[in-house]
Amino acid sequence: MIRFLLTRGHDYTLKEVRKSRQPPVISLMNYDRLIRARWLRRATYVFADLDRLGYWDLELAAHLYRLMKDAGLSVWNNPARVKTRYPLLRALHAAGLNDFNVYRADELGSTMRFPVFLRKVHSHREPLSDLLLDRVAVEKAIDTAVAEGTPVANLLVVEFAAEPVRPGLYRKLSAFRVGHTIVPHICVHDTSWLVKQGQQGIAGAELYREELALLQTNPFAEHLQRAFDIAAIDYGRADFGFYRGRIQIYEINTNPAMAPPSRHPSPVREESLRLAWEKYLQALQAIDSGRGWPIRITNGALQRHRRRKNLLAHSRKVP
């Protein structure tokens, strides 16, 4: 059995995986319940959704990760080591994997390359601005966001690094890491540079054939493995694209959505959906440690403090 640890209200990402009759068995558990647990089933535990944890719950999760590992459980994504958006993108740029850099709103550098856009450090929502062409526009966008209630500490300026795969058509690629395996996933296509949900049917037959070839050959596995290692993420999904012929990694999400294959007008795209799902389940099976007798989790100082002082407290649901 594999148990995913999630923040409250964000278990929708894996509900379809959990319903699947194909192995392995998937269980979902929120961090509030984990922090209070005295006993845990023997299973593989994946610490997911880490960027939505507040600093205190993140520290508790890191403490429990160590206790669970010492107790002999198979655990993935060490909360004390995982890099979330800002430190990750900084590290990828420093390592030469990304050509673009990011800046906190209160540390704008003179080397900032335009255009840029403004987004939140902690959020999975859309950016707060369109592309900004100069420093004056950036400062104005920051002032507007702060005036509307966004703390300056939660504002991030990101250098733009994307280009259309075809005239007027953008593509976002993605791949999962599941333990030691890189699993390529389907692409998202859109007419906007901000490729999020995509638009069905705009890719065309040629791009769907190219997508299937990428799923079959997994040509970016080594490069993505290095990025996941830098991020210290054992389970997650990297979203990436190309800029001037080089891979650019935009984000690594530790609670990515996954669903079984669905019907599609293109038979080639249907095959891609089937293959992505099959490879994902195979990778999960490889990290499944099976079942066994429950184990007792020794109460560390942080866990005891949480029970004594905040017995009825719950973590806040974060968008």
Tokens 């991030």: give the residue.
Answer: 156
pLDDT tens readout for residues 262-285: 998 899 999 999 999 999 999 999
pLDDT digits (tens, 9 = 90+) for 111-128: 899 999 999 998 888 999
User: 152 or 35: which carries more pLDDT confidence?
Assistant: 152
Q: Tell me the pTM.
A: 0.93
Tens-place pLDDT, residues 211-234 = 999 999 999 999 999 999 999 999
State residue 27's pLDDT score: 95
Which pLDDT value is given to residue 125?
86
Percent of the chain predicted with pLDDT > 70: 94
Q: What is the CATH number of domain 101-159?
A: 3.30.1490
Can you tell me the mean pLDDT for 136-160?
A: 97
What's the rounded Cα separation, in Å, for the pair 294 and 109? 52
- For the chain, the domains span 2-82+294-309, 101-159, 170-287
**The pLDDT value given to residue 305:** 60
- In the predicted structure, residue 159 carries a pLDDT above the cut 70: yes
The whole-angstrom separation of Cα 35 and Cα 81 is: 19
Confidence of residue 92 (pLDDT cuts 50, 70, 90): very high
What pLDDT sits at residue 302?
62
On average, the pLDDT of the chain sits at 92
Quote the pLDDT of residue 253. 97
| Predicted pLDDT at 4 | 98
CA distance linking residue 133 with residue 146, whole number of Å: 20
Give the pLDDT of residue 226.
Answer: 98
The CATH code of domain 170-287 reads 3.30.470
Q: What is the mean pLDDT of residues 29-45?
A: 91
| pLDDT > 90? residue 306 | no
Residue 151: its pLDDT value, please?
A: 96
